[in-house]
A and B are shown apart, each in its own frame.
Chain A
Amino acid sequence: MARHRFARRASARRKLSPARLSPRDVLHVGSGGLRSRPLRVVLSALGIAIGIATMISVVGVSASSQEQLMRRLDRLGTDMLVASPGESMFAGEDVKLPKNAAGKVGRIDGVEEAGATGTVDTTVRRNDKLPEEESGGITVQAASQELLKVVRGKTASGRWLNGANGRYPAVVLGDVAAQRLGVGQAGAQVWLGDRYFTVVGILAPLPLAPELERSALVGWDAAERLLDFDGHPTSVYERSTDDSVSDVRGLLAPTIDPENPQDVKVTDPSAKLQAKAASEGAFNSLLLGLGGIALLVGGVGVANTMIISVLERRYEIGLRRSLGAACGQIRIQFVTESLLLSGLGGAVGVVLGAAATGVFAHVDGLPWVVPLWSVAGGFGATLVIGTLAGLYPAVRAARLSPTLALHAA
């Protein structure tokens, strides 16, 4: 061994400043305590994992159901409007839409299709032996041929009204109406008004026009001839190009009734669905709160683990101080340890939460959506918790007098 190893007086004259630990070294010292106690790491990270998993899955499940509604809305389109008689009926005045309302609407710029229904004052029953009150909430309506196309409906069985069957005692049932009447397939007979009508078709569900789902639809001509229908539509459905929706909305009422446009009410059925999608997006705050509490308890668990870790490792702290660790470096070591601990819990929680959402979505046939903001937020929360939980123990560790730490008990 060479004598010069110890002859370094010259260097001693330089200014003393502690060396920085590289990020890798910080990670190394910060993870040392965790590596030596894997079981404790798992147990104290568990609380945080459960909290984050709960929150991620709560957000994920509601985002998934919302996504499904949004996709359905996309399919159905938001370009349909419905015009119906306004409220002035209550003033004793009988407001009616003009007979040719659908035709007029069809000529508005941008309108692609227009169809109409008119309520017929009669009932439909399974057979004539049932009392008239047993209508099951089904309304009988006259429907124009264009209606199905406007509402983008399909028949689940049989077919839609057309020029031929629309003149005869033929009826198309909405899916709810068919169910209530106990009609499973086209071809059956139902008692409508004062005679049997043949069910020529049953409609598939119509999310944008639930009122049609509960209707028995009769051809316009047949309704006028056989059921004393006055020919005035009670709803005019129209679908326009996407960019003309707002223009059309303004033109509908004045076009239908130029003299009394205030008597025409215009509604947007997709608005209801949109509102529903928005409310599905509002997650279950009770569950979210529970997740938050689990997270908090997890944070307390981490803080507790850290305090014990500092107590147990007094010698290590003393040793590191004797090796030249400054207070700040001891502090960083324990904050890093705490961050790793809670970060681990957070990462596991994110994976568990995403998996739980996936299982739920799969079972319910929903699209699997885990919003990025919830992952980022959840993980960010664990880092904040890790810092807070580690700060006090770390400050205590750094304040520990090196000689006391080294004193063999």
Chain B
Amino acid sequence: MTRVVGLTGVTKEYAGGVTALRDVDLDIEQGELVGIVGPSGSGKSTLLHIVGTLDRPTSGSVEIAGFDVAALSDRELSALRARHVGFVFQAFHLVPGISAQDNVAEGLLYSGLPRAERRRRAAEALERVGLADRARHRPHELSGGQKQRVAIARAVVGDPELLLADEPTGALDSASGESVMELLHDLGAAGATIAVITHDTEVADRLPRRVRLRDGAVVEDVREDVRERVPGDARAGA
């Protein structure tokens, strides 16, 4: 297995003396689907931002997709995010007024692909998330769950090595949340490396690996075979 994320001794202190992360070691292998759980303020988002290279740690080393983040400039980090990392946010952050397909295509804007190719791949990604028939719809014409699936399509349209989701179901009702989690499971089953923050213990329990944070430190890191725990889940191995 190849390592997609490698955190060693990562500490993040914010101005004002808040230590959001304390000496965190975390490895994520390719193809893993990891749930990050923990109480509010425990440092989950901070961890995700550092893994996604949106932020740098105060100390410790971060290696993403084989790159030592500390050695990279802002331009290089941007290129790393453009090619290797996809983000999904609780608040979707879709661009209002443009179609679902154009929103997904924005995910490739900084990849250097020509416009026509970006749109073609966006249509493909929408198909992957089951929204091919909503390609022309604009965000305000979509349900919350559909919006989040569009956002996921945007995150995966560039085939990133790493997909990071910060409470993707946080703003959704349980049924929509269910469909979004199903989608993440599908992507994981297809080989994507995914880290997802969730508050929902039920959701977390179904993930093959759980990392629990408390006060910025990893207090639990368990792997279990989800296929045995969730009988009747036929998606495994699809």
Contacts of B90 in A (CB 8 A): 408
Q: How far, in angstroms, from A319 to B74 measured CA to CA in the complex?
A: 16
A8 and B65 CA atoms in complex are apart in Å by: 9
By beta carbon, the residue of chain A nearest B163 is: A6
Contacts of A16 in B (CB 8 A): 67, 72, 76, 79-80, 83
Interface residues of B in 104-130 (CB under 8 A from A): 106-107, 109-115, 128
**Whole-angstrom distance between the Cβ of B149 and the nearest chain A Cβ:** 15
Q: Decide: B81 and A6 in contact? CB cutoff 8 A.
A: no
Tell whether A324 is near chain B: CB-to-CB under 8 Å: yes
In Å, the complex CA distance between A20 and B81 comes to: 15
Partner of B54, one of A36, A329, A403: A403
Residue of A nearest to B64 (CB): A12
B residues 66-112 in Cβ contact with A at 8 Å = 66-67, 72, 74-76, 78-85, 87, 89-91, 93, 95-98, 106-107, 109-112
Instruction: Kindly state whether residue B159 has any CB partner on chain A within 8 Å.
Output: yes
**Interfacial chain B residues near A1, Cβ < 8 Å:** 128, 186-187, 190-191
Given contacts A25-B109, A324-B111, whether A319 and B55 have CB atoms under 8 Å apart is no
B177 within 8 Å of A by Cβ?
no
Q: Specify which chain B residues have a CB less than 8 angstroms from the CB of A327 in the assembled complex.
A: 74-75, 78
Within 8 A of A (CB), among B6-25: none
Instruction: Give the nearest-CB partner of A326 in chain B.
Output: B78
Asked if B193 lies at the interface with its beta carbon under 8 angstroms from chain A, I say yes
Please give the distance in Å from B99's CB to the nearest CB on chain A: 13
B176 within 8 A of A: no
Determine if A6 and B190 form an interchain contact, defined as CB atoms under 8 angstroms apart: yes
Interface 0/1 of A16-57, CB less than 8 Å to B:
111111101100010010011000000000000000000000
> Who on chain A is nearest to B97 by CB?
A36
CB neighbours (8 Å) of B43 from chain A are: none
With both beta carbons as reference points, the residue of chain B lying nearest to A315 in the complex is identified as B93
Question: By DSSP majority rule, is chain A's interface helix, strand, loop, or mixed?
Answer: helix
The tally of residues in A whose CB lies under 8 Å from a CB in B reads 44
Instruction: Flag whether B192 is at the interface (Cβ < 8 A).
Output: yes
- Give the contacts of B171-205 with A (CB-CB under 8 A): 186-187, 190-193
Chain B residue contacts of A18, Cβ below 8 A: 75-76, 78-79, 82, 110
Determine the residue in chain B with the shortest Cβ distance to A325. Answer: B110
| A7 adjacent to chain B (CB < 8 Å) | yes
| A148 to B: closest C-beta gap in Å | 74
B168 to chain A minimum Cβ distance, whole angstroms, is 13
Q: Per-residue CB proximity of A186-208 to B under 8 Å, as 1/0?
A: 00000000000000000000000
Query: With an 8 A cutoff between CB atoms, is A2 at the interface?
Result: yes
Whether B52 is near chain A, meaning CB under 8 Å from some CB there, is: yes
B78: chain A residues at CB < 8 Å are: 18, 321, 324-327, 329
Residue B216 lies at the interface, judged by CB distance under 8 Å to chain A: no
Give how many B residues have a beta carbon under 8 Å from the other chain's beta carbons.
50
Residues of B within 8 A of A323 (CB): 81-82, 87, 106-107, 109-110, 154
For B91, the chain A residues whose CB sits under 8 A away are 315, 408
**B-chain residues with CB within 8 Å of residue A316 when the two chains form the complex:** 93, 95
Instruction: Provide the residues of chain B in CB contact with A25, threshold 8 Å.
Output: 109, 115
Q: Is the Cβ of A17 less than 8 Å from the Cβ of B96?
A: no
The yes or no answer to A5 lying at the interface (CB within 8 A) is: yes
Give the complex CA separation of A98 and B221 in angstroms.
123
A321–B192 Cα gap in the complex (Å)? Answer: 22
Task: List CB contacts (< 8 Å) of A350-376 with chain B.
Answer: none
B109 CB, nearest partner CB in chain A, Å: 6
The CA of A68 and the CA of B190, in the complex, are separated in Å by 79
Could you tell me if A12 and B106 are in contact, using CB atoms closer than 8 angstroms? Answer: no
Question: Looking across the interface, which residue of chain B has its beta carbon closest to that of A1?
Answer: B190
CA distance A376 to B81 in the complex (A): 42
Query: What residues of B have a CB within 8 angstroms of the CB of A17 in the complex?
Result: 75-76, 79
Is A328 in the interface zone, CB < 8 Å from B? yes
- A185 within 8 Å of B (CB atoms): no
Shortest distance in angstroms between A309's beta carbon and chain B's nearest beta carbon?
14
Q: CB-CB < 8 A to B49: which residues of A? A: 402-403, 406
User: Does A29 contact B109, Cβ atoms closer than 8 Å?
Assistant: yes
Contact present for B55 and A324 (CB under 8 Å): no
- A12 partner residues in chain B, CB cutoff 8 A: 65-67, 84, 161
B31 within 8 Å of A (CB atoms): yes
Do A6 and B74 contact each other (CB < 8 Å), given the known contacts A12-B65, A401-B55, A408-B91? no
- Give A7's nearest chain B residue, CB to CB: B191
Most buried by A among B75, B80, B110: B110
> With a CB–CB cut-off of 8 A, which chain B residues contact A22?
114-115
CA distance A6 to B2 in the complex (A): 12
Beta-carbon contact of A6 and B55 below 8 Å: no
Query: How far apart are the CA atoms of A326 and B54 in the complex, in Å?
Result: 11
Q: Smallest Cβ distance from B68 to chain A, in angstroms?
A: 11
**Could you tell me the distance between the alpha carbons of A320 and B108 in the complex, rounded to whole angstroms?**
10
A322 adjacent to chain B (CB < 8 Å): yes
Write out the residue numbers on chain A whose beta carbons fall within 8 Å of the beta carbon of B61: none
Once the chains are docked, how many angstroms separate the CA of A6 from the CA of B83?
Answer: 11
**Chain A residues whose CB sits within 8 angstroms of the CB of B113 once the complex forms:** 19
Task: Kindly identify which residue among B2, B54, B98, B111 contacts A322, using a CB–CB cutoff of 8 Å.
Answer: B54
Note all chain B residues with C-beta closer than 8 A to A321.
Answer: 54, 78, 81
Closest to B46 in A: A403
**With contacts A16-B76, A16-B79, A324-B78 known, what are 7 further pairs, Cβ within 8 A?**
A1-B186, A36-B96, A318-B93, A321-B54, A324-B80, A324-B109, A329-B78
Write the residues of chain A forming the contact surface with B, with a CB cutoff of 8 angstroms: 1-9, 11-13, 16-22, 24-25, 29, 32, 35-36, 315-316, 318-329, 401-403, 406, 408
Q: List 12 A-B contacts (CB under 8 A).
A: A3-B191, A8-B159, A8-B161, A9-B2, A19-B112, A20-B112, A21-B110, A25-B109, A321-B81, A323-B81, A327-B74, A402-B55
> Nearest 3 pairs between A and B by C-beta?
A324-B82, A19-B112, A324-B110
